[in-house]
Amino acid sequence: MRVVIIGNGLAGTIAAKTLRELDAEAEIEIFAEEKYPYYPRPNLIEFLGGKLAWERLFAFSQEWYEQQKIAVHLEKPVRKILPDSRQVEVEGSREGYDFLLVANGSLAFIPPFKGVEKKGVFTLRTLDDALRILDRLKTRRKATVIGGGLLGLETARALKLGGAEVEVVEFFDRLLPRQLDLQGATLLKSQIEKTGIKVHLNLATEEILGQDEVRGLRFKGGREIETELAVIAAGVKPNIQIAKEAGLEVNRGLVVNDYLQSSRPEIFASGDGVEHRNKIYGIIPASFNQARIAARNILGRKEKYEGTVFSNTLKVAGIDLTSIGVVNPEQGLGKEFRKEKKEEGLYKKIVVQNGTMIGAIWMGTKKGVNELSRIITEKINVERWKDSLLEDDFDFRLI
C-alpha cells in the first residue's frame, strides 16, 4: 500500500508516524513545500526570541526518518491532485497513490490594506519568515505587530526578547477576542504593558507607510505611528486551492466526514485546512487528533473523529493563560463565575450550563488546567462545586 501525504507540518508528520507505528510495510511518501524537515510551529517564537538553538528547532532527526522508512521530499510541493487516476503532480512528474492525505495546512491571511509589499513587512508562518525577521532586526529595532491574537502576542514577546522596541495594534476592543472576555483581556493588557510592550486597541490599519520600505502605519481616522518592521498577525486561511481544483468538496475548508475522508473516499485530510461538521479548528490539539485518526482510517480501522474542544494554552509576557471551550456565551446560554486578583495577575472564570462546565479561562496559574480540560471534555456535572471551583485550594480530585 502506498500512502502519499501532502505537507510536512504537524498533521502530515504525525499521520506518517502513526501509519508506521501501525503498519511496518506501508510505503509512506511526504511531499513538502518547505526546504526544512518538520518543526513545531511554536518553536518559531522561541527561535525568534533567541531562546531556542537552530539544532533544537526540529522535531525529528534525519536518522529518525530513515529508520522509520518515511520518505520526505523537501521543496517538492504537490501542484495538482488527479483523483481519477489516483496521482499527484509534482514538478511536472506524477506520483501514484493508493491513499492520499491532504495536510497542507493554512496560509497567513493578509488584509487588503495598502503597502503590504514594502520591505520590512512580514508574516510569521515558516522558518524562512523567522530568518528574514531576524535579519531585519540586525539594523532595525522599532517593531509593530498588527494583530492582538495568539500569534500576534507571542510574536511581540519574541521581538521584545530579541531587544526590539515593540508595539501591538489590535482592531478589536480587546486582546485575544476569541479566547478571553473583556475582564480577562483588560487584565492581560495591563500585564503585557508592564513588560514594556505598548498595546493599542480599536485601531484598524489602513496603510503601511514609506517609499520602498516600511516607515510607519496609518489607521482609520488618520492616526499614524512610526515603525521600521511590521509583522502582520491577522489570522490564517485554509490552504484549499489544490483541493478545489481537484473537484473535492470545499467550503471554508476542505470538507471531510467523521472518518476524515473528503468527497473522494480514498482521499483523507487533517490539520488546519480541514472543515469538519462546519468547524475549522486551527489549533494544535485538533491537528494532532485528526492526524492520528486519519492514519488509522487509511489502514481501515474505521474510527470516528468527534471533534476537539477548543483549547489554547500559552505563556504571554510570562503569564500562564489557558482558554477552553465556550468563554463568551451568548445571553442565556450559561452562568459565569469569576475570580480576579489584579495585583497578582490572576483571573479565573468558568461557564456552567445546566450543571455542566462548558468553558473556562485560567490566567496567572497552571494549577487545575489539566483537570479543567478533562471536566469540560467529559461533560462532568459540576453543580455542587461551582461556587468553590475557583478557590486557590480547591481539590480537583473531588470531581
DSSP output for 15-77: HHHHHHHH-SS-EEEEE-SSSS----THHHHHHHTT-S-GGGS-SS-HHHHHHHTEEEETT--
Indicate the residue among 232, 260, 289 that finishes a domain: 232
Whole-number pLDDT of residue 330:
82
Residue that finishes a domain, picked among 209, 232, 255: 232
- Please compute the mean of the pLDDT values over residues 218-231 and round it to a whole number: 97
Indicate if 135 and 191 belong to the same structural domain.
yes
Lowest mean pLDDT among 139-153, 222-236, 351-365, 382-396: 382-396
- pLDDT at position 311 is 86
185 falls within a domain: yes
Distance separating alpha carbons of residues 398 and 144, to the nearest angstrom: 46
Does 85 share its domain with 147?
no
Q: Phi and psi of 33, rounded to 5°? A: -80, -35
Cell of 154: 507571542
Lookup result for grid cell 482558554: 323
Whether 50 is in a domain gets the answer: no
Residue matched to cell numbers 502605519: 217
How is residue 141 written as a grid cell? 529595532
Beta strands 142-146 and 346-353: pairing type? Answer: unpaired
- How far is Cα 208 from Cα 241, in angstroms, rounded to an integer? 28
Q: Supply the pTM of this predicted model.
A: 0.91
Q: C-alpha cell of 297?
A: 482510517
In a domain, 111, yes or no: no
Establish if 205 belongs to a structural domain.
yes
Buried b (16+ CB within 10 A) or exposed e, 8-43: bbbbbbbbbbbbbeeeeebebbbbbbbeebbbebeb
| Max avg pLDDT among 272-286, 315-329, 383-397 | 272-286
Q: Are residues 64 and 159 in the same domain?
A: no
pLDDT for 317:
66
State whether residue 207 is helix, strand or coil.
strand
> Domain check: are 384 and 290 in the same one?
no
CA 101, 106, 107, 112: dihedral to nearest 10 degrees? 130
Q: What's the pLDDT score for residue 385?
A: 92
Q: pLDDT of 258-296, one tens digit each? A: 999 999 999 999 999 999 999 999 999 999 999 999 999
Name the grid cell of 112: 487588503
Cβ-contact 102, 11 below 8 angstroms: no
In a shared domain, residues 289 and 254: yes
Q: 232: number of CA atoms within 13 Å, CB side?
A: 27
The residue whose grid cell reads 499527484 is: 88
- Shared domain for 244 and 100, answered yes or no, is yes
Give the domain CATH number at 255.
3.50.50.60
Residue with cell 467529559: 378
The enclosing H or E element of 224 equals: strand 224-226
372, with CB counted inside 10 A (0-12, 13-18, 19+), is buried
Name the amino acid, one letter, at 314: L
Distances (CA, A) of 148 to 14, 345, 378: 29, 19, 31
Which pLDDT band holds residue 351 (cuts at 50, 70, 90)?
very high
- The predicted model gives 376-390 an average pLDDT of 91
Residue 369 near residue 360, CB atoms below 8 Å: no
Q: Retrieve residue 252's grid coordinates.
A: 471554508
Domain that holds residue 329: 318-398
Most confident range, picked from 7-21, 312-326, 341-355, 372-386: 7-21
Does residue 310 form part of some domain?
no
Cα gap 176→174, rounded to integer Å: 7
Sequence-distant (≥ 6) Cβ neighbours of residue 130 within 8 angstroms = 44, 47, 48, 124
How do 319-325 and 356-363 pair as beta strands?
Answer: antiparallel
pLDDT tens across 178-187, in order? 899 999 999 9
Domain count, the chain: 3
Residue 287 and residue 370 share a domain: no
